[in-house]
Amino acid sequence: MSKEIVSTDEAPAAAGAYSQATTDGNLIFTAGQIAMTPDGDSLADEPIEVQTERALKNLEAVLEAAGAGLDDVLKTTVYLADIDDFEAMNGTYADFFDGEPPARSAVEAGDLPLGMGVEIEAVATKP
């Protein structure tokens, strides 16, 4: 199967030359999701827990548009503007992946888009 573009109005629109996600029919690769509402309102000034929750809700919406869900995630990468926010991010993250969590990398990335504190991307499999 060839590459398919995934798009949904339930997550913020791509703000550049990228897709919300792509899939080959088996694997789904998401773009990094940040703390922006589907309407484009920024939550960059909110605590990292709020930002993490919004980013994960956006990620969930993109995955659902691709025919999958958070339970289908194989790997995430979490980019933090400040690695000292790891524990707070992790507490909220654990609420979304409480059973058998995916593999994960978490890195301090310095400046993130639009002044965000966290950005999360995922690789998932279609059920």
Domain CATH for 63 = 3.30.1330.40
Average pLDDT, integer, range 27-51: 97
Average pLDDT, integer, range 10-30: 95
Cβ atoms 122, 61 nearer than 8 A: no
Q: How far is CA 13 from the centre of its chain?
A: 13
Q: What is the pLDDT of residues 46-84, one digit of tens each?
A: 999 999 999 999 999 999 999 999 999 999 999 999 999
Runs of H (alpha helix) within the chain: 48-65, 86-96
For 31, the domain range is 4-125
In the chain, how many domains are there?
1
Percentage of residues of the chain with pLDDT beyond 70: 99
Instruction: Retrieve residue 20's tokens.
Output: 């919300």
What single letter denotes the amino acid at residue 102? P
